[in-house]
Structure 1
Amino acid sequence: MRVLYFAWVREQIGMSEESVDPPEAVCTVADLAEWLKDRTPGHATALRDLTRLRAAVDQQFVPLDSTLGNAKEVAIFPPVTGG
């Protein structure tokens, strides 16, 4: 699975994307974020407060409790606004 990071999430983690192979116990976007926290101190910092994050699975905006299924790509980013 490819995980993409944007804005301050990317800055704190120190990369814009990575390929991961989460264990079967990782079923939701929130599970994935929790699992990713252990990768580096930057991941732990960026993902510590899930209420400050939004996600997209295979380019569709989803709530963090959404199941991953056979997702090929997950994007994690701060809330966005339009104007």
Structure 2
Amino acid sequence: MTPSLILAALWALGANILAMLPSRDNHWRRAYGLIIVGIPILGYVTFQNGPWVGMAVLLAGMWMLRWPVIYLGRWTKRLMQGKTAAED
């Protein structure tokens, strides 16, 4: 197992532990921190193991942080349709 995959597995373990702890802001600060830490790890995994393994790790990360991904998709859809937040 390469060092990048070990880091990705530790990231996933840390994300699961953080999800179990109570939070006042519905885990959003933790999600932002996990994204900031996870992007370089994803690049390292892709560099060391190739694009297919990188895509698998990306999908796993998106599965774990699905609410930020859902909100990003909704925000992008709103931008493409030309709506503002006040119109919703």
Q: Tell me if both proteins adopt one fold, taking TM over 0.5 as the criterion.
A: no
> Given the two structures, how large is their TM-score scaled by the length of structure 2?
0.25
Larger RCO (CA within 8 A; separation ≥ 6): 1
Tell me which protein shows more strand as a share of its residues: 1
Q: Which has the higher helix share?
A: 2
Q: Tell me which structure has the larger Cα radius of gyration.
A: 2
